[in-house]
Amino acid sequence: MFAFLGVLAVFYYVESMPDGAKAWGEADLEEPIRLFTSQQIRALRDNPQACFAALDGSNMSFAQVEPQSATPQCRWQAGVSISGSNLDYADPQPPVASCALAAALYVWEREIVAPAAARHLDSEVSEVLHYGTYNCRRVNSSQAGRWSQHAGANAIDVSGFRLADGRVISVRDWDDGGAEAEFLVEIRDRSCAIFTGVLGPDYNAAHADHFHLDMGPWEICS
């Protein structure tokens, strides 16, 4: 029964693909979000060659980078340094991300952040404010337990957004009501269509000031 449903899902995917859309296992990062966009991007996690091909086919400027740590748990796979994308990233150095995270961010910037800003803020987002991507640590910086997705540069903590008109929208504005809060809620909700892990202020107090976005193996949207 489950095998039949799997075949049916693949058949539906193939039959419903628009002309010019990429086949399963490939990803066109310039396409709008479709039914299987998240699955296509997630498939890039275990296929560096396809992931780099997807980035090459986009307008992102990036360079491949070698891992900074000899520790197995803190070695990213297919790491890239993002020097140019749909949006800028506030940091003295270009952010380093796993290839899959970079691919997800590229789509997220254009398909989720930009439309939300147009709907709620009457201004474009020019810059993503963040606390970083790579951090060789375990979840919650504990001494034991599983390793954070940050340990593999597979996550980013977004603290806010700088707008073209000079305003700064902080994730701390989450409960303030009004257009800024509506913008942030839409970002959190729609991010779950791209990333496997999305955590925000509703998750716990530790995330009161940022959105955690990752491409890890565990699905959570909170």
Residue-wise pLDDT tens digits, 57-76: 999 999 999 877 767 788 77
Q: How far apart are CA 44 and CA 50, in angstroms?
A: 6
Residue-wise pLDDT tens digits, 147-193: 999 999 999 999 999 999 999 999 999 999 899 999 999 999 999 99
In this structure, the chain runs to a length of 222
pLDDT of 102 > 70? The answer is yes
9-23, 43-57, 102-116: least confident range:
9-23
Residues 153 and 133 sit within 8 Å (Cβ to Cβ): yes
For residue 26, give both structure tokens.
């490939």
Q: How far apart are CA 81 and CA 102, in angstroms?
A: 9
**Number of CB atoms found within 10 A of residue 32's CB:** 10
Q: What is the mean pLDDT of residues 134-151?
A: 88
List 39's β-bridge partners, or say none.
none
Write down the pLDDT at residue 5: 37
**Which band of pLDDT confidence, cut at 50, 70 and 90, is reported for residue 12?**
very low
Q: How far apart are CA 68 and CA 103, in angstroms?
A: 21
